[in-house]
Structure 1
């Protein structure tokens, strides 16, 4: 249903908040948008108090004027339902509509997202507002997209009030049917927790010690579903009135609270708000991983970067600006990873409020004296020559398995160690990117057959259906790489007995006896059998008993010296690798290279300074080259036959990428990224096919 062609090219724009500015500024904004190449703005995201200043009394006159003005200047509208920040009158009328924390504190007026997702009064007023907006603007020619609410779960992904407790009990009754089934699933024989009535069940509020793990896990599932029901309520209104207008809601990448694999099926196009830290060592990796999961949520569909900062944000302890060129580089990276649109928060930096120090396309100093304005204007012009990218696909032969249920389960308390999922996933992702791979993310019950190699950085929670899917994939010829502490529990957080990971023992050809959780001052070492290369091991190692698996690397110290650290096992027509510890990035690159090459997936070692993505555009390939270093240039010798995308200009044999430099090179035929040979001689890198 979403058609990028209706925008006339790549989407470019920002959140626009005209209610913060006098009318004379609106006309200046419309002209500046034309100058910058803006073709879409997100409108009315935080406008509820202006659209409904008093209960049931609506004022759309100002919004009519703004939308007409934008349309007259060639700017389309992504119109929000305005429900993301209820007006103060709603909290006064319904004091119990304010959410409650796990400690029993009811939050107060003054911020945003101040609503309990279970409160019927909030739901009724929100539904009425959405209906009025949809009916008023259903036929306006500027309306191209619906923006439902905003950043669900950003601030409130769980509400612990009595209303939510009641909804939780209803959710549990639908899930389990009987209390006997719930007691069995929750393991309530432990600590005398058996429930005799549904009314006895409460959310996992602050307790004397660890709450029941399955209760915690089901609570996270419920909380995601409960907020999803809010989204569905609004979407039902919109699709009933405007079935011809596509619907989205802006995601937040790897947001812990919401299961985006489930959510993405409910929208017409995925959209993302992305704020990688410019002061971090690898903001492009942080951004790239987020971009890739957005593309993966709907099976490779191109997506919209709905929000980002032109420069600094306002909410970190130290808010680094984006140095000249970094904003353009990260936007080109988004295009390379499947974005069809590039938008910012926000159009004009605010004068007042909590986000007044958040950068905008138009900064406080005004456009004439702003470096940021010059950069956003130049990017807008550049995008006009890159319309072809709206048809490009991002093929991947490698996937990372990811599941929000596993994330929730792994980070529940009372574990052998405090394990965090995202640092593990980020390390594996970085290794695959440095090996020249486009990367998809896939759900454990998704279609694995599309990939030559499926990597599982961690799957602590592994239901039987997921294990069966993995077994089928390997037996039919796939290559699996599984990380440590995987396959430990089922969907109810109950241990799979018989040696870890019990459901995959036959696939991996081994069993794990116990875990060696290492103290801060402890070290072990890992040695690969073939190359003899050694690496430090920290945090975690395992006591592995191979049955039929081949040992590729061993631990060197302590009582596990000589024991397997990395194994490989043939299962059916495929192979399964097991990674028995927390290994450094260099070791992950080494072993993933072995697995990829073993599956006939070509690899190349890409220098950390260079980010490469390959996209498919019809019968041609586009090589996206990004120099991610802020101060050092990079010289490249290129394969023959390439031209600059959108320009058709032939390229010199040797190309210099300036700091934060970007090149898009189109090649006829097929060029597999892993088949590019990258050699560094003196100061020049050579890429040859």
Structure 2
């Protein structure tokens, strides 16, 4: 067993030697040394090579490359190869194939072509896992185990009969009896009352809308059934391989919403994730920063591992732009700034065939004589110099709450507006604070919120009484709480909290909303300040709100439309803290001014004063600190900083200058 590399920010990526002739391997190992690669993930999609037919195994090629990697001092994150079944398996057992909502069987020929509930598939996967773990548990290259790959990326939800049966068993464990199920699902509506468990089905395509709580529970079930599969593989590994960390790569990017990683994170020895820049987003680099903070929150504030990202273009967007010169290094350091202690790419060598042939890699189609590979080598050298940062943590006085259960509930059918997307408010507030040099933790409502000066509660549509009470408690103890529209609306059973919105937070905020007025695309409402002056506009959402507490101050009101004169944003003192409410998605300038007031009153200080688009984060270990500066703009920037820049490997100060599109990591002092 090889210790995980901690003398540097671990640097490497997904390696697929089985795609290449044997003579390419020697070139790979030479180039890995040149690039400073310290780890590779091996074998992710190699089942058909390891078990070319049922019960017949070929480990010779894997033995050889494992030995070569060990000889070259490269640590291996070894995969169980169970992410995708080989053709012999789907041909012999077509019943393992998933089924879509319309009842169509999804055929093999892609990846993840297996039903998450299939016991047959699980048994075959566990047999392979057992073989691999028994063979390589004490190999000198082995440093980490990688279970499956990107769970639920393509095969969840599955609506087959096997999933239907497992769903019923899951519901029986959750509710105990049909009476409790009927109550939770509100089956008195539309004559949906169940009298036998066999009547219960997944939310398949129906005549119109499915029951919202049924849809929510099916999402919970899907996450749980795959988590159970992960646990089964991890258990097999641990029988053979004690002391070697086990992980699976999450996907904490905005577009992936299938798993509740809050439940998955405690099962990981190391929290790891994949992240790819989605260029179609309005603020793709801000989204990247948000999900670095989200991954750190899942890791309990500890460092985490970036298992996959891209050196340049991906292959799955309608248009796949290349990253500009310097983009590989800057994007990578953004993740390190947010707590990553390992940088992995998909993949080492760009494929010459297959669906991901145009997905960028560390060694591009152009080969090592290319600007992209030279930038990869530069990043490898920087990762080595950043070894002193490994193990340090990120400082944050602001928490943004994030709950996959609330996300699922707000993504369900029959809601007031399809224009409301759960991440929108969270991402907007995080981006505006990031542009002000303020770092946020992104955490679950059930995490310890004590110690934060500001807690943002964005569109927390579903919330338990316990979590609502925790928010109120931290406000009473001195924090500033900022609650957005569509928060506190439903219980964990997806039942409306009656008496007026925002439900669970109504008494805390001193605000009562009688009716919702979502805004169509293109519609805006003027926003007035306390003097009656127009200061901005709201979009997406508005609502008929009234202050019900005498100490509730109107910060913004609607200046146009049917709600003119009604409350749009409020502030209320609560014991030692303050509770704020924002009932619309205000424009950036208006919401930014409100946040300026919040953080000033709360005593939150910026890491550094920087222009919008320049990202600053501080990591700390004891009395040592490192200032990360990522310039995502097209202009050079300057800020006060002194010490040693580990990127350029030069002394700097008292003013640090960072070029347009550049990055610096300053060891302070």
| TM-score under structure 2 length normalisation | 0.96
CA distance in 1 between partners of 2:490 and 2:107 (Å): 39
Task: Return closer, same or farther for 1:3/1:647 CA change in 2, 3 Å cut-off.
Answer: farther
Indicate the residue corresponding to 1:663 in structure 2: 664
* 8 Å contact from structure 1 (residues 435, 589) kept in 2: no
In 1: Cα distance, 2:362 partner to 2:651 partner: 33
1: CA distance, partners of 2:245 / 2:539 = 48
Query: What is the deviation of 1:2?
Result: 12
Any idea what the Cα deviations from partners look like across 1:46-72, whole Å, max 9, x if unmatched? 000000011111111110001001111
Q: In the alignment, what sits opposite 1:610?
A: 614
Give the distance between the partners of 1:380 and 1:605, measured in 2 at CA.
30
Contact 1:361 1:376 in 2 (8 A): yes
Aligned to 2:153: 154
Q: Secondary structure of the equivalent of 2:517?
A: strand
- SS of 1:385's partner is helix
Q: CA deviation at 1:12?
A: 0.5
Query: Is 1:55 the counterpart of 2:57 in the alignment?
Result: no
How far has the Cα of 1:392 moved from its partner?
1.8
Match in the other structure for 2:273: 272
Deviations 1:291-320 (A, max 9, x none): 111111021111111111111111111110
The correspondence of residues 19-38 of structure 1 with structure 2, limited to 5 A, is 19-38=18-37
Cα distance change, pair 139–530 in 1 and its aligned pair in 2 (3 A) = farther
Does the 8 Å contact 1:460/1:486 carry over to 2?
Answer: yes
Q: Does 1:428 align with 2:432?
A: no
Show the counterpart of 1:560.
563
1:77: how far off?
Answer: 0.5
Shift of 1:648: 7.7
Query: Would the aligned equivalents of 1:335 and 1:389 in 2 still touch at CA under 8 Å?
Result: no
Counterpart residue number, 2:485: 484
Task: Give runs of aligned pairs for residues 396-545 of structure 1, distance below 5 A.
Answer: 396-418=396-418, 419-529=420-530, 532=533, 534-545=535-546
Residue number in structure 2 paired with 1:46 = 45
Is the 1:2–1:246 contact (alpha carbons within 8 Å) kept by the matching residues of 2? no
1:558 is paired with a residue whose SS is coil
Residues 663 and 531 of structure 1, relative CA distance in 2, 3 Å threshold = farther
Instruction: Decide whether the 8 Å contact of 2:341 with 2:391 is kept in 1.
Output: no
Name the stretch that deviates more: 195-204 or 454-463: 454-463
Say if 1:507 and 1:571, in contact at 8 Å, map to a contact too. Answer: yes
Mapped to 1, the partners of 2:453 and 2:524 lie a distance apart of: 34
For residues 520-546 of structure 1, the C-alpha deviation after alignment (integer angstroms, 9 at most, x for no partner) is 353211123279561111221111111
Query: Given the superposition, is the C-alpha separation of residues 2 and 250 from structure 1 closer, same or farther in structure 2, using an over 3 Å criterion?
Result: farther
> CA 1:576 to 1:503, structure 2 compared with 1: closer, same or farther past 3 Å?
same
Any idea what the Cα deviations from partners look like across 1:452-508, whole Å, max 9, x if unmatched?
111011111122111121122212222110000111110111110111123222211
Measure the CA separation in 1 of the matches of 2:178 and 2:282: 51
Distance 1:531 1:619 in 2: 49
| Contact kept in structure 1, 2:152 and 2:258, CA below 8 Å | yes
Q: Is the contact made by 2:458 and 2:484 (CA closer than 8 Å) also made in structure 1?
A: yes
Matches within 5 A, 1:568-579: 568-579=571-582
Return the alpha-carbon distance in structure 2 between the equivalents of residues 556 and 426 of structure 1. Answer: 26
Q: Cα offset for 1:16?
A: 0.5
Q: CA deviation at 1:558?
A: 2.5
Residue 209 to residue 3, structure 1, CA distance change in 2 (3 Å): farther
Any stretches of 5+ residues in structure 2 without a counterpart?
Answer: none
Q: State the distance in 2 between where 1:121 and 1:140 align.
A: 30
Q: Which residue number corresponds to residue 600 of structure 2? A: 597
Q: Quick check: 1:289 aligned with 2:290?
A: yes
**Mapped contact 2:389–2:626 kept (Cα < 8 A):** no
2:395 paired with 1:391: no
Please give the alpha-carbon distance, in whole angstroms, between the structure 2 residues aligned to 1:585 and 1:329: 25
Q: Supply the distance in 1 between the matched residues of 2:540 and 2:591 (Cα, whole angstroms).
A: 15
Counterpart CA distance in 2 for 1:537 and 1:422 is 17
Shift in alpha-carbon separation, 1:531–1:441, aligned structure 2, 3 A: farther
- Which secondary structure does the structure 2 equivalent of 1:400 belong to? strand
CA distances 1:603-646 after superposition (whole Å, capped 9, x unpaired): 476422311112213313222112112x4323x1425x433248
Matched residue, 1:90: 89
The one of 562, 566, 583 equivalent to 1:580 is 583
Deviations 1:554-598 (A, max 9, x none): 111133222211111122222110001121222221111211112
Provide the secondary structure at the position in 2 that maps to 1:322: coil
Q: Distance in 1 between matches of 2:310 and 2:332?
A: 11
Q: Is the 8 A contact 1:530 1:552 kept in 2?
A: no
Q: Whole-Å Cα distance in 2 between the matches of residues 481 and 326 of structure 1?
A: 34
Match of 2:553 in 1: 550
Partner of 1:405: helix, strand, or coil?
helix
Residue number in structure 1 paired with 2:119: 120
* Alpha-carbon offset, residue 435 of structure 1: 2.3
39-48 or 289-298, larger mean C-alpha shift: 289-298
The residue aligned with 2:323 is 322
Number of corresponding residues = 663
Q: Aligned residue for 1:253?
A: 252
Instruction: Tell me, in whole angstroms, the C-alpha distance in 2 between the residues paired with 1:485 and 1:99.
Output: 35
Q: Distance in 2 between matches of 1:530 and 1:269?
A: 53
531 and 25 in structure 1: CA distance in 2 versus 1, 3 angstrom threshold: farther
Secondary structure at the aligned position of 2:537 is classed as: strand
Over aligned residue pairs, what C-alpha RMSD do you find? 1.8
Question: Partners in 2 of 1:450 and 1:354 — Cα distance?
Answer: 48
**Mapped contact 2:251–2:273 kept (Cα < 8 A):** yes
**Counterpart mapping for 1:121-136 below 5 A:** 121-136=120-135
- SS of aligned partner of 2:652: coil
CA distance in 1 between partners of 2:51 and 2:60 (Å): 12
Q: Relative to structure 1, is the Cα distance of residues 278 and 632 closer, same or farther in structure 2, using a 3 angstrom cutoff?
A: farther
In the alignment, the residues of structure 2 paired with residue 512 and residue 559 of structure 1 have an alpha-carbon distance, to the nearest angstrom, of: 15
Q: Give the equivalent residue in structure 1 for 2:7.
A: 8
Deviation at 1:372, TM superposition (A): 0.8
Q: CA deviation at 1:247?
A: 0.6
Tell me the secondary structure at the aligned position of residue 386 of structure 1.
Answer: helix
Cα displacement (A) at 1:351: 1.1
Question: Tell me, what secondary structure is at the counterpart of 2:586?
Answer: coil
Q: Structure 1, residues 378-424: CA drift from partner, whole Å, max 9, x if none?
A: 11112221111103210111011110010000111111111211222
